[in-house]
Chain A
Amino acid sequence: MERLNALEYLKLSKSQALWYNIKLFFSKIPAWIKSLFVKLWITIKNFFLSLKEGALDIKDTFVKGNWAVKLSFVSFGAGNIYYGQVMRGLLFLLFEVIFIVYTFILPTGGIYWIRKVHWLSKGATVGTVQGAMKYNPVTDTYGWVAGDDSVRVLLYGLLSVFFVIAFFVVWRMQIKQCKINMELHGQGRKIKGAKDDLRSLIDEQFHKTLLTPSLLGIIVFTVLPIIYMVIIAFTNYDAEHDGHANLFSWVGFDNFNAFTDFGAGGLGLALGEMVGWTLMWAFFATFTNYFFGMFIAILINKKGIRFKKLWRTILVMTIAVPQFVSLLYVGQLFSQQGVIGAFLERADLLPQVMVAQNQMSLWSNPVSSKILLVVINLWVGVPYMMLSATGILMNIPADLYESSRVDGANSVQQFMKITLPYMLFVTGPSLLTSFVGNLNNFNIIYLLSGGGPTNTEIGTVGGQQLGHTDLLITFLFKVTTGSGSKYYLASVLGIFVFIFVAFLSLIVYNVMPSTKNEEDYS
């Protein structure tokens, strides 16, 4: 769209300026998205370039290397030992031996598991032997002859693949070291021995020593489970194919394709409903808390307000009670059997529209339950925002306010030009995190409305009743823990949540003043 220069912009009336800014914001979105993809493309390109460089480097090392270096291409650590790094060399060799023994020699080792998984080949089962019941006439009982357990087969298969990847990483690592040794040797410099290595691990390389345990922990407890869960999305793992009594199998992209069904009860329609409400919820939950918290903080901070500590204490009381307790309690209050709910009904205070539809509590109407959720969330969330806002407000240099007052600014102008930009600058990243947090705010929704009222137009989805206030995350919980235990569906939903959150975060993060104008307030 057409950009105005400063002079033209100042000529616009207030409403025109606002309209101009809104248009400007939306016109920028395609550019942001484009830059996002460009960045992504560059990253991918760089990755492949570095791969190419690595390959050239390996070739170079092989051509220039002596017999020991050439030998270390098949027998790990030969190059290290040749140049006097006996300990490193032996460790590399030990790793190679363990890898070969586990992968190829053990009867239930790496290859065994990797073969059993039948990676992603549509229709094939994960695991090969089906467990079965067997009758024992002597004891007159049925026993279980164990077969494969798909869940374990997939896990061990995945671990074995990780091991193979680790094998190649270590292979590359020791070749790199051979090259370094060659160069050092050529320059006539000393090559580090075992003692130097050990010493450096608690000295200049101490970070490696410290990070190794946590890195291992992250790989085993975070990266591996995430990959595992993503893989589940391509199987039919559910109550009927639980991997134990019935092996589950690969279904390709069927689970994703199911979301293109926009008919009644189709997942596409349900997904649309959920995404719409999830976005709406995150928006309202985040910004109502943000602004109310800020206003309360400003109010209490005002000069001349007495008993400041008392007001703050009263508000902070809600934090003292565990959140789920207060949520369950307040949720009950508004139900038909709760004090407020029963009062509203008996005093005929419910809107006529709801009564006409037999919706006798605030939780049974989609609109009123959505409003109630936002309001109750406000009640439990405002104190946190108020506390952090109080601290930030005190940090704003007082001379800014003083000089603006000298220039004749009123308090609204001060708020719009000083307080709000400052607040947004400082709290931008935390605002983003709380937005993402609200997208996945399971507690509030599940404990208050449980996702209800039931969406009768859509009916059952995946064996579960979809509610009007179901977020992606609460519905994910329902399909996993409900009767059908559709783990694959939960996995697909989880992937959607991830894409959704990652995409939004990237866009918002890129337009945030905190990242764009980093120098402004420093």
Chain B
Amino acid sequence: MRMTKLVSLVLALLMLTLCFAACGEKKEEKMTITLWVSTTEGVKAFYEKQVADFKALHPEYDFNIKVEAVGEGDAATQVLADVATAPDMYCFAQDQIARLVQGGALAPLGSQAADTVRKNNDSGSVGAATVGEKLYAYPLSSDNGYFLYYDSSVISAEQAKTWEGIIEACQAAGKKIGYNTSEGWKGSGFYFAQPVGGGDALCHSTWTYSADGKNPIALDDTFNSDNGVIAMKGLNMLATSGVWLDTESFTNTAAVVTGTWKANEAEGEYGDNMAATKLPTFTVDGVTYQTGSFSGCKLLGCKPQTDDARAKLCADLALYLTSGDAQLERYYEFQHGPSNLEAQANQDVMDNKLLTALLQQNVYAVPQGVIPDKWWAEVAALNAICAESGKTEDDFKAALATYEEKVTALIVK
């Protein structure tokens, strides 16, 4: 009897200690920098190597590095969950910069670092890293745009120039077109379309941020107009063609709108027939428009530190990791398109098939500025209406009016 009591008492206490043991923290002597990078196979190991190179170059810094793979599309959510315990440095796609700055998760660049970044990178990526008046991040790559992959055994190069041609080819071959318009970033392509032969884009949506980068204070947006209706009609034509899929996956498709990060999957599905080009054109009411897009980039950010020595180390390491040489190394290893001007001028980079397609599309692309996060859902909501058949011009107008009401409400007065 006593034994059972003793055992149960020990178990009860053990349970309690186990519960609290998880809360304990260990103190470390040497400075440890945590860095989050893309989850793509091999990227983590490659960054570890690049950091080791940095250490060899700068013996004055003595630190441990912990590289972890966390999705670049998801970084902001993870970081903002608790900034205090977030990693010191992290890679992220530029669309998250607004909420990262607002959440106090990005330290602005010092004046020297900012000068270096401005001088060495293309204007699109510098713009993407600027919120309000300051630079908040280091451009890593300038390939975060989308273009058209297609299967040249199904679609001819001529057909690939127009959505109508692609639809026709896919209908004939029983294949699908993948374009996930329910994602605001890709789905806004039709609204940024411009008439073939020149002219302004159908619509634009430009946000201005307060000087401290925390709040959107003004918006110049022309979605709610006759041009917006044209864009919706165009998308509606594609979405109700019977061959459209709201997806980024290549299964069963002959054409997919996505970016360089899907290169392996495209090659696996289409094999030698894989081709890439700018986005197609579409015709509404007799006028032909070239589908637009966002051109964007990936950025490396540093968390604001309470210890200035640590901040300095992070800043230097970030500059090194985003330098032209480091970007070129990553191009050779992973085909990441560089944002560094020198690296862009490299012959191998200029010869790349996918980057060429991206560059072709970039002519019609809108450099993605800083956009509040909720905007994407509103565009997706418009596109959900485009995906329904039997919609009339009035439906589109009503949807655009709702859109305007909702995005205007995002402005902080």
> A residues bordering B, Cβ < 8 Å?
131, 133, 135-136, 138-146, 149, 202, 206, 209-210, 212-214, 216-217, 220-221, 239-240, 242, 244-246, 264-265, 336-337, 342, 346, 356-358, 360, 454, 456, 459-460, 463-465, 481-485
Asked if B108 is at the interface of the complex by the 8 Å CB criterion, the answer is yes
A453: nearest chain-B partner, CB-CB: B384
Q: Closest approach, in angstroms, between the C-beta of A28 and any C-beta of chain B?
A: 44
Q: Mark B1-40, 1 if CB is under 8 A from A, else 0.
A: 0000100110011011001000000000000000000000
Considering the complex, give the chain A residue whose CB is closest to the CB of B387: A358
* B273 contacts chain A at the CB level, 8 A cutoff: no
* Cβ of B131 under 8 Å from chain A: no
B176 neighbours in A (Cβ, 8 Å): 336-337
* Residue of A135, A245, A464 ringed by the most chain B CB atoms within 10 A: A245
User: Interface digits, B367-390 against A, CB 8 Å rule (1 contact, 0 not)?
Assistant: 000000110111011001101111
In the complex, 8 of the A-B residue pairs with CB atoms within 8 angstroms, ordered by the A residue number, are A133-B107, A144-B304, A144-B306, A149-B84, A357-B390, A358-B239, A358-B387, A463-B373
Q: Let me know if A138 and B308 touch, CB within 8 A.
A: yes
B307 interface hit (Cβ, 8 Å)? yes
| Given known A-B contacts A214-B12, A239-B373, A460 and B77 have beta carbons under 8 A apart | no
Q: Given contacts A239-B373, A481-B77, are A142 and B311 in contact (CB under 8 A)?
A: yes
CB-based contact A213/B16 at 8 Å: yes
- Which residues of chain A have C-beta atoms less than 8 A from B251's C-beta? 337
B239 x A139 contact (CB < 8 A): no
Please, which residues of chain A bring their CB within 8 A of the CB of B312?
139-141
Report chain A residues within 8 Å CB of B165: none
Residues on the B chain within 8 Å of A346, using CB: 174
New A-B pairs, 12, CB < 8 Å, besides A133-B107, A146-B306, A463-B377 = A136-B311, A141-B305, A143-B306, A144-B304, A210-B8, A214-B16, A244-B103, A245-B105, A337-B249, A463-B374, A465-B377, A481-B77
Where the two chains meet, the residues of B that have a C-beta atom closer than 8 Å to any C-beta of A are 5, 8-9, 12-13, 15-16, 19, 77, 80, 82-84, 99, 102-105, 107-113, 174, 176, 182, 214, 239-240, 242, 245, 247, 249, 251-252, 304-309, 311-312, 315, 373-374, 376-378, 380-381, 384-385, 387-390, 402, 406
Residues in chain A near residue B307, CB distance under 8 A: 143
Of A131, A141, A465, most B-chain CB atoms within 10 Å: A141
Do residues B15 and A213 form an inter-chain contact, with CB atoms below 8 A?
yes
Partner of B112 from A140, A146, A214 at Cβ < 8 Å? A140
State A356–B5 Cα separation when bound (angstroms).
71
Interchain CB contact under 8 A, B104 and A244: yes
Determine the distance from Cα of A221 to Cα of B22 in the docked complex, in whole angstroms.
12
**Roughly how many angstroms separate A290 CA and B363 CA in the complex, as a whole number?**
61
Cα separation A221 to B16 with both chains bound (whole Å): 11
User: In the complex, what residue of chain B is closest to A358 when comparing beta carbons?
Assistant: B389
* A459–B306 CB distance below 8 A: no
Q: What distance in Å separates the Cβ of B185 from its nearest Cβ neighbour in chain A?
A: 12
Verify A144–B373 contact, CB threshold 8 A: no
CB distance from B27 to the nearest CB of A (A): 18
- Nearest-neighbour CB distance to chain A for B45, whole angstroms, equals 29
In the complex, the answer to whether A139 meets B308 with C-beta atoms within 8 Å is: yes
Q: B305 and A239: CB pair below 8 A? A: no
List chain A residues, Cβ under 8 A from B80: 239, 242, 485
- Pick from A145, A202, A245: contact of B102, CB below 8 A: A245
Are A206 and B5 CB-contacts (below 8 A) given A142-B304, A485-B77?
A: yes
CB-CB under 8 A from B378, the residues of chain A are 460
- Contact check, A245 vs B377: say whether CB atoms are below 8 A apart: no
B252 near A337 (CB under 8 angstroms)? Answer: yes
Contact between B15 and A239, CB atoms less than 8 A apart: no
Q: Which residues of B contact A209 (CB under 8 A)?
A: 9, 12
Question: Does A202 contact B387, Cβ atoms closer than 8 Å?
Answer: no
Q: Are B83 and A244 in contact (CB under 8 A)?
A: yes
In the bound assembly, the distance between CA atoms of A337 and B307 in angstroms comes to 52
Closest A residue to B114 by CB, please name it.
Answer: A140
A141 to B, closest residue via Cβ = B311
- Per the bound structure, the CA–CA distance linking A456 and B252 in Å amounts to 27
Specify which chain B residues have a CB less than 8 angstroms from the CB of A357 in the assembled complex: 388-390
Say whether, besides A144-B305, A146-B306, A337 and B376 are in contact (CB < 8 Å): no
Please measure, in the bound complex, the distance between the C-alpha atom of A358 and the C-alpha atom of B389, giving whole angstroms: 6
Report B-chain residues with C-beta under 8 Å of the C-beta of A202: 5, 9
A212 to B15, CA, bound (A): 11
Complex: A264 Cα to B385 Cα, angstroms: 15
